[in-house]
Protein backbone atom coordinates (compact mmCIF):
# COMPACT_ATOMS: atom_id res chain seq x y z
CA UNK A 1 0.00 0.00 0.00
CA UNK A 2 1.27 3.47 -0.90
CA UNK A 3 2.64 5.27 2.14
CA UNK A 4 2.33 8.78 0.71
CA UNK A 5 -0.87 10.73 0.29
CA UNK A 6 -1.34 11.45 -3.45
CA UNK A 7 -0.25 14.99 -4.27
CA UNK A 8 -3.64 15.99 -5.70
CA UNK A 9 -5.29 15.21 -2.36
CA UNK A 10 -2.80 17.42 -0.52
CA UNK A 11 -3.66 20.21 -2.94
CA UNK A 12 -7.39 19.62 -2.45
CA UNK A 13 -7.03 19.82 1.35
CA UNK A 14 -5.02 23.04 1.27
CA UNK A 15 -7.37 24.54 -1.32
CA UNK A 16 -10.34 23.75 0.96
CA UNK A 17 -8.59 25.47 3.86
CA UNK A 18 -7.84 28.48 1.67
CA UNK A 19 -11.47 28.76 0.62
CA UNK A 20 -12.47 28.94 4.29
CA UNK A 21 -9.88 31.64 4.93
CA UNK A 22 -11.11 33.69 1.99
CA UNK A 23 -14.72 33.47 3.20
CA UNK A 24 -13.60 34.70 6.63
CA UNK A 25 -11.50 37.46 5.02
CA UNK A 26 -8.39 36.13 6.76
CA UNK A 27 -5.14 35.99 4.79
CA UNK A 28 -3.20 33.47 6.88
CA UNK A 29 -3.68 30.44 9.14
CA UNK A 30 -1.40 29.13 11.89
CA UNK A 31 -1.85 25.39 12.36
CA UNK A 32 -0.53 24.01 15.67
CA UNK A 33 -2.44 20.74 16.10
CA UNK A 34 -0.23 17.78 15.04
CA UNK A 35 -3.18 15.96 13.47
CA UNK A 36 -4.25 19.04 11.51
CA UNK A 37 -0.65 19.59 10.36
CA UNK A 38 -0.45 15.94 9.35
CA UNK A 39 -3.73 16.14 7.45
CA UNK A 40 -2.76 19.25 5.47
CA UNK A 41 0.82 18.13 4.78
CA UNK A 42 0.28 14.38 4.39
CA UNK A 43 3.08 13.76 6.92
CA UNK A 44 1.43 11.10 9.10
CA UNK A 45 3.65 8.03 8.96
CA UNK A 46 6.32 8.71 11.57
CA UNK A 47 6.53 7.86 15.24
CA UNK A 48 4.92 11.26 15.73
CA UNK A 49 2.43 12.82 13.35
CA UNK A 50 3.88 15.94 11.68
CA UNK A 51 6.82 16.63 14.01
CA UNK A 52 7.58 20.30 14.50
CA UNK A 53 5.99 23.48 15.65
CA UNK A 54 3.87 25.32 13.11
CA UNK A 55 2.32 25.05 9.66
CA UNK A 56 1.57 28.45 8.12
CA UNK A 57 -0.66 28.64 5.08
CA UNK A 58 -2.04 31.66 3.26
CA UNK A 59 -5.30 32.40 1.53
CA UNK A 60 -3.34 32.95 -1.67
CA UNK A 61 -1.07 30.76 -3.78
CA UNK A 62 2.13 31.08 -1.71
CA UNK A 63 3.88 27.86 -0.69
CA UNK A 64 2.83 26.56 2.72
CA UNK A 65 5.55 27.17 5.34
CA UNK A 66 6.40 24.33 7.72
CA UNK A 67 8.37 25.50 10.78
CA UNK A 68 10.20 22.85 12.80
CA UNK A 69 13.18 22.53 15.13
CA UNK A 70 16.69 21.54 14.16
CA UNK A 71 15.93 18.13 15.70
CA UNK A 72 13.30 17.26 13.06
CA UNK A 73 14.41 19.57 10.25
CA UNK A 74 16.13 16.97 8.08
CA UNK A 75 13.23 14.53 8.13
CA UNK A 76 10.65 17.26 7.53
CA UNK A 77 12.65 18.74 4.65
CA UNK A 78 13.04 15.35 2.96
CA UNK A 79 9.34 14.60 3.29
CA UNK A 80 7.78 17.99 2.56
CA UNK A 81 10.07 20.05 0.36
CA UNK A 82 9.43 17.84 -2.71
CA UNK A 83 5.71 18.39 -2.14
CA UNK A 84 5.92 22.16 -2.43
CA UNK A 85 6.34 23.13 1.22
CA UNK A 86 8.94 25.63 2.33
CA UNK A 87 10.54 24.07 5.40
CA UNK A 88 12.07 26.45 7.94
CA UNK A 89 13.93 25.62 11.13
CA UNK A 90 14.47 27.26 14.46
CA UNK A 91 17.44 26.73 16.75
CA UNK A 92 17.05 27.27 20.49
CA UNK A 93 20.82 27.69 20.75
CA UNK A 94 20.48 30.86 18.70
CA UNK A 95 17.59 32.22 20.75
CA UNK A 96 15.01 31.18 18.15
CA UNK A 97 11.71 29.40 18.64
CA UNK A 98 8.75 28.36 16.49
CA UNK A 99 6.95 31.63 17.20
CA UNK A 100 9.82 33.88 16.17
CA UNK A 101 10.35 32.07 12.86
CA UNK A 102 6.59 32.09 12.20
CA UNK A 103 6.46 35.84 12.81
CA UNK A 104 9.35 36.36 10.36
CA UNK A 105 7.62 34.24 7.71
CA UNK A 106 4.29 36.04 8.14
CA UNK A 107 6.06 39.38 7.83
CA UNK A 108 7.77 38.33 4.58
CA UNK A 109 4.43 37.11 3.22
CA UNK A 110 2.78 40.41 4.08
CA UNK A 111 0.04 38.84 6.21
CA UNK A 112 -2.28 41.25 8.03
CA UNK A 113 -4.96 38.98 9.54
CA UNK A 114 -3.84 35.59 10.82
CA UNK A 115 -6.22 33.00 12.27
CA UNK A 116 -5.34 30.55 15.05
CA UNK A 117 -7.77 27.75 16.00
CA UNK A 118 -8.88 28.35 19.59
CA UNK A 119 -8.87 24.64 20.43
CA UNK A 120 -5.11 24.28 19.88
CA UNK A 121 -3.77 27.31 21.73
CA UNK A 122 -3.74 28.30 25.41
CA UNK A 123 -4.59 31.76 26.68
CA UNK A 124 -0.90 32.31 27.50
CA UNK A 125 0.22 31.24 24.03
CA UNK A 126 -2.40 33.49 22.44
CA UNK A 127 -1.06 36.49 24.38
CA UNK A 128 2.46 35.67 23.19
CA UNK A 129 1.29 35.50 19.58
CA UNK A 130 -0.59 38.78 19.90
CA UNK A 131 2.50 40.48 21.33
CA UNK A 132 4.96 39.10 18.79
CA UNK A 133 2.83 39.66 15.68
CA UNK A 134 3.36 43.40 15.66
CA UNK A 135 2.37 43.79 11.98
CA UNK A 136 -0.58 41.39 11.92
CA UNK A 137 -3.81 40.90 13.83
CA UNK A 138 -4.16 37.49 15.51
CA UNK A 139 -7.73 36.16 15.38
CA UNK A 140 -8.89 33.14 17.44
CA UNK A 141 -11.15 31.10 15.15
CA UNK A 142 -12.99 27.79 15.13
CA UNK A 143 -10.99 24.72 14.15
CA UNK A 144 -12.42 24.25 10.67
CA UNK A 145 -9.57 21.89 9.71
CA UNK A 146 -10.92 19.35 12.22
CA UNK A 147 -14.32 19.73 10.56
CA UNK A 148 -12.78 19.10 7.12
CA UNK A 149 -11.16 15.93 8.52
CA UNK A 150 -14.56 14.49 9.42
CA UNK A 151 -15.18 13.53 5.77
CA UNK A 152 -12.49 11.06 4.70
CA UNK A 153 -11.26 10.88 1.14
CA UNK A 154 -10.65 7.64 -0.72
CA UNK A 155 -7.01 7.37 0.38
CA UNK A 156 -7.89 7.88 4.04
CA UNK A 157 -10.59 5.23 3.89
CA UNK A 158 -8.07 2.75 2.50
CA UNK A 159 -5.78 3.39 5.47
CA UNK A 160 -8.56 2.89 8.02
CA UNK A 161 -9.66 -0.28 6.23
CA UNK A 162 -6.06 -1.58 6.32
CA UNK A 163 -5.73 -0.72 10.02
CA UNK A 164 -8.86 -2.75 10.66
CA UNK A 165 -7.47 -5.66 8.69
CA UNK A 166 -4.18 -5.62 10.64
CA UNK A 167 -6.09 -5.37 13.93
CA UNK A 168 -8.40 -8.24 13.00
CA UNK A 169 -5.51 -10.48 11.96
CA UNK A 170 -3.75 -9.77 15.26
CA UNK A 171 -6.85 -10.64 17.27
CA UNK A 172 -7.42 -13.87 15.38
CA UNK A 173 -3.79 -14.88 16.05
CA UNK A 174 -3.75 -14.14 19.77
CA UNK A 175 -7.14 -15.67 20.50
CA UNK A 176 -5.57 -19.07 19.78
CA UNK A 177 -3.10 -18.46 22.61
CA UNK A 178 -5.65 -17.62 25.30
CA UNK A 179 -5.92 -20.14 28.13
CA UNK A 180 -6.73 -20.23 31.82
CA UNK A 181 -3.81 -18.96 33.90
CA UNK A 182 -2.71 -16.41 31.30
CA UNK A 183 -2.67 -12.89 32.73
CA UNK A 184 -4.31 -9.79 31.32
CA UNK A 185 -0.81 -8.36 31.09
CA UNK A 186 0.43 -11.26 28.95
CA UNK A 187 -2.60 -11.11 26.68
CA UNK A 188 -2.15 -7.35 26.14
CA UNK A 189 1.56 -7.82 25.39
CA UNK A 190 0.89 -10.58 22.85
CA UNK A 191 -1.86 -8.53 21.20
CA UNK A 192 0.26 -5.39 20.87
CA UNK A 193 3.19 -7.42 19.52
CA UNK A 194 0.93 -8.75 16.76
CA UNK A 195 -0.49 -5.29 16.06
CA UNK A 196 3.02 -3.94 15.50
CA UNK A 197 4.27 -7.00 13.62
CA UNK A 198 1.43 -6.74 11.13
CA UNK A 199 1.70 -3.00 10.66
CA UNK A 200 1.39 -1.55 7.18
CA UNK A 201 2.93 1.88 7.43
CA UNK A 202 3.05 3.20 10.98
CA UNK A 203 5.03 2.19 14.06
CA UNK A 204 2.32 3.50 16.38
CA UNK A 205 -0.62 1.78 18.01
CA UNK A 206 -3.89 3.69 17.93
CA UNK A 207 -3.92 3.56 21.78
CA UNK A 208 -2.79 1.36 24.65
CA UNK A 209 -4.89 -1.79 24.54
CA UNK A 210 -7.58 -2.44 27.15
CA UNK A 211 -7.68 -6.04 28.44
CA UNK A 212 -10.02 -6.77 31.36
CA UNK A 213 -11.30 -10.12 32.61
CA UNK A 214 -13.87 -11.62 34.94
CA UNK A 215 -15.67 -9.08 37.14
CA UNK A 216 -13.23 -6.41 35.90
CA UNK A 217 -15.07 -6.36 32.55
CA UNK A 218 -17.53 -3.97 34.22
CA UNK A 219 -14.82 -1.29 33.75
CA UNK A 220 -15.09 0.16 30.22
CA UNK A 221 -11.49 1.44 30.25
CA UNK A 222 -10.03 -0.69 33.01
CA UNK A 223 -6.25 -0.77 33.42
CA UNK A 224 -4.46 -3.96 32.45
CA UNK A 225 -3.44 -5.97 35.53
CA UNK A 226 -1.72 -9.27 36.28
CA UNK A 227 -5.02 -10.95 37.09
CA UNK A 228 -5.06 -14.52 35.77
CA UNK A 229 -7.81 -15.57 33.37
CA UNK A 230 -10.10 -18.23 34.82
CA UNK A 231 -12.57 -20.64 33.29
CA UNK A 232 -15.94 -18.96 32.98
CA UNK A 233 -14.46 -15.47 32.68
CA UNK A 234 -15.71 -12.89 30.27
CA UNK A 235 -12.73 -11.13 28.68
CA UNK A 236 -13.01 -7.77 26.89
CA UNK A 237 -10.23 -6.47 24.64
CA UNK A 238 -10.27 -2.98 23.10
CA UNK A 239 -7.45 -2.44 20.60
CA UNK A 240 -6.36 -0.87 17.33
CA UNK A 241 -3.47 -0.72 14.90
CA UNK A 242 -2.67 2.24 12.68
CA UNK A 243 -1.83 2.39 9.00
CA UNK A 244 -0.01 5.47 7.72
CA UNK A 245 -1.22 7.28 10.81
CA UNK A 246 -4.90 6.28 10.54
CA UNK A 247 -6.52 4.37 13.39
CA UNK A 248 -8.68 1.35 13.93
CA UNK A 249 -10.70 0.97 17.13
CA UNK A 250 -12.21 -2.45 17.82
CA UNK A 251 -13.63 -4.21 20.88
CA UNK A 252 -14.51 -7.85 21.31
CA UNK A 253 -15.75 -9.78 24.34
CA UNK A 254 -15.29 -13.55 24.62
CA UNK A 255 -15.61 -16.31 27.21
CA UNK A 256 -12.91 -18.59 28.60
CA UNK A 257 -14.67 -21.93 28.52
CA UNK A 258 -18.43 -22.32 28.17
CA UNK A 259 -20.70 -19.30 28.69
CA UNK A 260 -23.46 -19.21 31.29
CA UNK A 261 -27.06 -18.47 30.31
CA UNK A 262 -26.71 -14.95 31.73
CA UNK A 263 -23.54 -14.30 29.73
CA UNK A 264 -25.25 -15.49 26.56
CA UNK A 265 -28.31 -13.36 27.25
CA UNK A 266 -26.40 -10.13 27.88
CA UNK A 267 -24.03 -10.70 24.98
CA UNK A 268 -27.01 -11.26 22.69
CA UNK A 269 -28.64 -8.04 23.90
CA UNK A 270 -25.50 -5.98 23.28
CA UNK A 271 -25.06 -7.51 19.83
CA UNK A 272 -28.69 -6.80 18.94
CA UNK A 273 -28.23 -3.19 20.13
CA UNK A 274 -25.14 -2.79 17.98
CA UNK A 275 -26.70 -4.26 14.85
CA UNK A 276 -29.75 -2.05 15.32
CA UNK A 277 -27.60 1.07 15.80
CA UNK A 278 -25.46 0.32 12.74
CA UNK A 279 -28.57 0.13 10.55
CA UNK A 280 -29.28 3.78 11.39
CA UNK A 281 -25.95 4.93 9.94
CA UNK A 282 -26.36 6.33 6.44
CA UNK A 283 -26.15 9.57 4.44
CA UNK A 284 -28.74 12.12 5.55
CA UNK A 285 -29.68 10.21 8.71
CA UNK A 286 -29.47 11.94 12.09
CA UNK A 287 -26.23 11.07 13.87
CA UNK A 288 -27.93 10.75 17.25
CA UNK A 289 -30.48 8.25 15.94
CA UNK A 290 -27.99 5.37 15.93
CA UNK A 291 -27.26 5.65 19.64
CA UNK A 292 -30.94 6.20 20.43
CA UNK A 293 -32.04 3.05 18.61
CA UNK A 294 -29.32 1.00 20.28
CA UNK A 295 -30.36 2.26 23.69
CA UNK A 296 -33.97 1.40 22.89
CA UNK A 297 -32.91 -2.23 22.50
CA UNK A 298 -31.00 -2.24 25.79
CA UNK A 299 -33.94 -0.58 27.50
CA UNK A 300 -36.30 -3.28 26.27
CA UNK A 301 -33.93 -5.86 27.78
CA UNK A 302 -33.85 -4.06 31.14
CA UNK A 303 -30.17 -3.14 30.74
CA UNK A 304 -30.25 0.60 30.02
CA UNK A 305 -29.00 1.58 33.48
CA UNK A 306 -25.83 -0.44 32.88
CA UNK A 307 -25.03 1.17 29.50
CA UNK A 308 -22.80 3.82 31.05
CA UNK A 309 -21.58 5.29 27.74
CA UNK A 310 -24.67 4.63 25.68
CA UNK A 311 -24.86 2.66 22.45
CA UNK A 312 -23.23 5.02 19.95
CA UNK A 313 -19.65 5.99 19.31
CA UNK A 314 -17.17 8.49 17.91
CA UNK A 315 -15.38 9.35 14.70
CA UNK A 316 -11.95 7.92 13.97
CA UNK A 317 -9.15 8.93 11.62
CA UNK A 318 -5.76 10.39 12.47
CA UNK A 319 -7.07 10.45 16.04
CA UNK A 320 -8.79 7.52 17.66
CA UNK A 321 -11.42 9.95 18.98
CA UNK A 322 -12.47 12.73 16.63
CA UNK A 323 -15.62 14.06 15.01
CA UNK A 324 -18.31 13.33 14.21
CA UNK A 325 -19.90 11.53 17.16
CA UNK A 326 -23.31 9.98 17.66
CA UNK A 327 -23.86 12.33 20.58
CA UNK A 328 -24.10 15.52 18.54
CA UNK A 329 -26.61 17.12 16.23
CA UNK A 330 -26.17 16.84 12.50
CA UNK A 331 -26.53 14.36 9.67
CA UNK A 332 -24.21 11.63 8.45
CA UNK A 333 -22.24 12.41 5.29
CA UNK A 334 -20.54 9.98 2.90
CA UNK A 335 -16.94 9.62 4.07
CA UNK A 336 -17.69 9.80 7.80
CA UNK A 337 -16.14 6.89 9.73
CA UNK A 338 -17.58 6.17 13.18
CA UNK A 339 -17.41 3.50 15.85
CA UNK A 340 -20.59 1.84 17.05
CA UNK A 341 -19.87 0.36 20.47
CA UNK A 342 -22.73 -0.39 22.85
CA UNK A 343 -21.72 -1.84 26.18
CA UNK A 344 -23.33 -3.18 29.34
CA UNK A 345 -21.36 -3.00 32.60
CA UNK A 346 -22.76 -4.62 35.76
CA UNK A 347 -20.71 -3.95 38.91
CA UNK A 348 -19.66 -7.14 40.67
CA UNK A 349 -20.59 -9.32 37.70
CA UNK A 350 -18.84 -8.05 34.58
CA UNK A 351 -19.63 -6.53 31.23
CA UNK A 352 -19.85 -6.89 27.47
CA UNK A 353 -18.85 -4.44 24.73
CA UNK A 354 -18.84 -4.96 20.96
CA UNK A 355 -17.27 -2.28 18.75
CA UNK A 356 -16.86 -1.96 14.99
CA UNK A 357 -15.70 0.82 12.68
CA UNK A 358 -18.39 1.87 10.22
CA UNK A 359 -18.05 3.91 7.02
CA UNK A 360 -20.89 6.06 5.73
CA UNK A 361 -21.19 5.39 1.98
CA UNK A 362 -23.19 7.12 -0.75
CA UNK A 363 -26.03 4.62 -0.32
CA UNK A 364 -25.75 3.42 3.27
CA UNK A 365 -22.93 2.02 5.36
CA UNK A 366 -20.03 -0.44 5.30
CA UNK A 367 -18.69 -2.21 8.38
CA UNK A 368 -14.90 -2.02 8.06
CA UNK A 369 -14.14 -4.46 10.89
CA UNK A 370 -13.98 -8.03 9.52
CA UNK A 371 -13.97 -9.97 12.83
CA UNK A 372 -17.04 -12.14 13.36
CA UNK A 373 -19.32 -11.20 16.25
CA UNK A 374 -20.66 -14.54 17.43
CA UNK A 375 -19.91 -15.11 21.14
CA UNK A 376 -16.45 -16.64 20.97
CA UNK A 377 -15.63 -19.44 23.41
CA UNK A 378 -11.99 -20.19 24.15
CA UNK A 379 -11.84 -23.93 24.89
CA UNK A 380 -8.16 -24.42 25.78
Chain segment 142-176, per-residue pLDDT in tens: 999 999 999 999 999 999 999 999 999 999 999 99
Checking if the pLDDT of 2 tops 60, the result is: no
In the chain, how long is the greatest CA-to-CA distance?
71
Segment 37-54 mean pLDDT: 87
pLDDT computed for residue 49 by the predictor: 85
Q: For position 104, what pLDDT does the model report?
A: 94
User: 181 pLDDT exceeds 70?
Assistant: yes
Could you give the count of Cα atoms lying within 13 Å of 236 in the half-sphere of its Cβ?
Answer: 27
User: In the predicted model, is pLDDT for residue 200 greater than 70?
Assistant: no
Averaged pLDDT of the chain: 94
Question: Which residues 6+ apart lie within 8 Å of 255 measured at CB?
Answer: 232, 233, 234, 235, 263, 375, 376, 377, 378
Concatenated DSSP letters of 258-297:
SPPHHHHHHHHHHHHHHHHHHTT-STTSBHHHHHHHHHHH
pLDDT of residue 380: 67
How much of the chain, in percent, has pLDDT values that exceed 90? Answer: 86
Q: How far apart are the first and last CA of the chain?
A: 36
β-strands 65-69, 86-90 pairing: parallel
Average pLDDT over every residue of 110-134: 90
Is beta strand 343-346 parallel, antiparallel or unpaired with respect to 350-353? antiparallel
324 cis-preceded (ω within 30 degrees of 0):
yes
SS3 (DSSP) at 54: strand
pTM of the model: 0.94
Q: What's the pLDDT score for residue 134?
A: 85
- pLDDT, position 202: 67
- When pLDDT is cut at 50, 70 and 90, the band that residue 95 belongs to is confident
Rounded-to-integer distance, Cα 191 and Cα 315, Å: 23
Domains of the chain (ranges, CATH numbers): 7-148 (3.40.350.10), 154-378 (3.90.230.10)
Residue 80 pLDDT more than 80? yes
Q: If you average pLDDT over residues 280-285, what whole number do you get?
A: 97
What is the per-residue pLDDT across 202-256, written as a single tens digit (0 to 9) for each?
A: 678 999 999 999 999 999 999 999 999 999 999 999 999 999 999 999 999 999 9
280: CB partners within 8 A, 6+ apart: 289, 290, 292, 293
Amino acid sequence: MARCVPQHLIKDRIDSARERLQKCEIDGLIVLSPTNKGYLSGFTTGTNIAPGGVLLITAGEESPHYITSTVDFQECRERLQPRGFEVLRYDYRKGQNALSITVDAARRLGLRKVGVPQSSITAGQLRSYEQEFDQAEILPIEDFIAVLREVKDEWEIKQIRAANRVSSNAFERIIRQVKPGMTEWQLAAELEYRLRLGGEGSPRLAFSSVVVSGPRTCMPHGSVTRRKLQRGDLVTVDFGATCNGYCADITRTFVVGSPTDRQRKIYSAVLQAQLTAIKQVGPGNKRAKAAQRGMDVLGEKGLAEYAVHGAGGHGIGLQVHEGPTTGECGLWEPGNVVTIEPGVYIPGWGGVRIEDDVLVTETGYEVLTPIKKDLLQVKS
